[in-house]
Amino acid sequence: MNDADDPPERIVYVVDPTMSRDVQPELVTRTEIDNDCTVTGVVIDPADQQQLLYGTVTGPDGRFVGSYFPADIVRQTEWRVVTADGAEYPAPSEGHAVLALTTTLRRT
């Protein structure tokens, strides 16, 4: 843990046998607690563009609530939410997607 009691980032390296090691993109996972749910995001290239690939939400009981992702990864737009039961919804932003999964779409 750091001084702010935030969970540490986990660095994951993508392994592609056809790429040289010096061009491998860096991926990190970032976790936070929101409305008693654990929100985890997978971010590519955190030092530069910090683009979210996708995120997941689990409830306080550890059950999977759903996931969210930008349909347009480059522009980080056209957000989608997919619930644990497979229902898909559009969301205007990442914040709206997380809010929906941690409140309205969360089944208790």
pLDDT 10s digits, 33-74:
999 999 999 988 766 777 889 999 999 999 999 999 999 888
Residue 31: pLDDT band (50, 70, 90) is very high
Specify the DSSP element, H or E, that contains 71: strand 64-72
Question: pTM for the whole thing?
Answer: 0.75
Query: Residue 1's pLDDT is what?
Result: 43
Q: Band of the pLDDT at 107, cuts 50, 70, 90?
A: confident
3-state secondary structure of 3: coil
CB atoms near residue 30 (< 10 Å):
18
Domain that holds residue 90: 10-102
Asked if residues 28 and 12 have their Cβ atoms less than 8 Å apart, the reply is: yes
Alpha carbon distance 83, 65 (integer Å): 6
Residue 23 within any structural domain of the chain: yes
* Within a domain: 5: no
Query: Is residue 64 included in any domain, yes or no?
Result: yes
